[in-house]
């Protein structure tokens, strides 16, 4: 299963506010045609925005490429806010990076 890591700086947007965010996303593409891609990651943003996103369980991550990616929040850890992308297939050709 090919794996790509996308890292950059963008924005974390919630229903109430937004903050700059540094992120790292691991995108896994299946070897089997038609099988779904899977992407999860961690981001760091202003603490209050990360807490609000964790409470809402959903947010939008705007990547450095200005592409918006809806995310489902998993947890808030010392490393940052962990999440999974809701539509990872949209990032299959993403050229984002540091």
* Domain parsing of the chain, residue ranges: 3-90
**24-60 pLDDT tens trace:** 999 988 777 777 788 999 999 999 999 999 999 999 9
Do 85 and 70 contact (CB within 8 A), yes or no? yes
pLDDT of res. 94 = 53
pLDDT of res. 91 = 73
pLDDT of res. 95 = 45
SS (H, E, C) 25-87: EEEECCCCCCCCCEEEEEEEECHHHHHHHHHHCEEEEECCCCCEEEEEEEEEECCEEEEEECC
Q: Which residue has the higher pLDDT, 89 or 81?
A: 81
């Amino acid at each position: 299963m090919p794996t790509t890591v996308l890292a950059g700086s963008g924005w974390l947007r919630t229903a109430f506010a937004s903050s700059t965010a540094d992120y790292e996303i691991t995108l896994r593409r299946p070897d089997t045609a038609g099988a779904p891609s899977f992407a999860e990651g961690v981001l760091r943003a202003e603490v209050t925005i990360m807490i609000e996103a964790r409470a809402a369980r959903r947010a939008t991550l705007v990547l450095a490429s200005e592409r918006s990616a809806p995310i489902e929040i998993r947890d808030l850890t010392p490393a940052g806010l962990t999440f999974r992308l809701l539509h990872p297939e949209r990032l299959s050709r993403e050229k984002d990076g540091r």
